[in-house]
Amino acid sequence: AMLRAAIQSVRSSGGQVVPEPEAKAVLRDFGIAVPYGHAGNDVLATAAGLDEPLVLKAVSPTLVHKSDAGGVRVGLRAAELPATAQQMSEELAEHGHRIERFLVEEMAAAGQEVAVGAVRTPGLGWTVMVGLGGVFIEVLADVAFGVAPLTSQQVRAMLRELQGMPLLEGARGAEPLDVDALVALVVRLAGADGLLAAMPDEVTEIDLNPVIVSTSGAVAVDARFVVG
């Protein structure tokens, strides 16, 4: 119901992307971990009850790659929010973006960034992609594909295809990261009773980029549902 309401409001406003706070509420509802946070216009009020350090993000229908335009600031104290929000509004206005609301959320535990995506593919259903964030995707195109529904065994097999997998498993004496949590997250998305299976037809693409995999847990810190 939450999902349908979010999609309905996107369509009625002529937009193409479910706003990040609503997309994250849907993820949480499906058992996919997202940072604790709230959206609103009064950033200080929005931060009430959240643990520092905080992340401030602009919510705007025209803003797709938020950080490219200065729409994401991480590692903030609550006291810094009002001035940072003011500065963000001015910076984005110069680029022609109008901020609708702000999303204030807690920082996810540090870890390896992983991109998880799904695209509706005619004749196939949902094609699911996983890849390690940063240079791994952009430079090395180190990604693996599967077709939903995916079992946890199939997700593990996809992860083993990644050249960057040693980074998740604790290469060079680093602590091993919580690969089980990442697998569980992908199964909540792409498993037989996962989010993709419940997605209305008009949703054509889902990007969780990044999911941050730490030593305990995997959290989707960005979420984009594209309405076709």
Residue 216 interacts with ligand ADP (CB under 6 A)?
Answer: no
Q: Does residue 22 touch ligand ADP according to CB under 6 A?
A: no
58 binds, among ligand ADP, Mg ion, none (CB under 5 to 8 A by kind): none
The reply on whether position 20 binds Mg ion by CB under 5 A is no
The amino acid present at 77, given as its one-letter code, is R
Task: Could you list the beta-strand ranges (E) of the chain.
Answer: 17-18, 37-40, 54-59, 72-76, 101-106, 112-121, 125-132, 143-147, 203-213, 218-220, 224-227
User: What residue has token string 């960034």?
Assistant: 113
Which residue, 41 or 67, is less far from ligand ADP as judged by CB? 67
Phi, psi (5° rounding) for residue 152? -65, -35
Spell out, one character per residue from 31 to 70, where the chain touches ligand ADP: x when CB under 6 A holds, - when not.
Answer: ----x-------------------x-x-------xxx---
Our finding on whether 74 is near ligand ADP (CB under 6 A) is: yes
> Which one of Mg ion, ligand ADP, none is in contact with 108 (Cβ closer than 5 to 8 A by kind)?
ligand ADP
Q: CB atoms < 10 A from the CB of 144, how many?
A: 17
In the beta sheet, which residues pair with residue 40? Answer: 102
Phi/psi at 61 (5° precision)? -65, -20
104 binds ligand ADP (CB under 6 A): no
| Whether 226 contacts 119, CB under 8 Å | no
Least distance in Å: CB of 64 to Mg ion? Answer: 10
107 binds ligand ADP (CB under 6 A): yes
Among 21, 76, 105, 159, binds ligand ADP (CB under 6 A): 105
Binders of Mg ion among residues 182 to 211 (CB under 5 A) are: 209
Name which of ligand ADP, Mg ion, none residue 120 binds, using a CB cut-off of 5 to 8 Å depending on partner kind.
none
Give CA separation, 163 vs 18, 50, 68, 110, 204, in Å: 32, 37, 27, 21, 28
Fill in the DSSP letter of residue 176: P
| Footprint of ligand ADP (CB under 6 A) | 35, 55, 57, 65-67, 72, 74, 105, 107-108, 113, 210, 221-222
| Footprint of Mg ion (CB under 5 A) | 209, 222
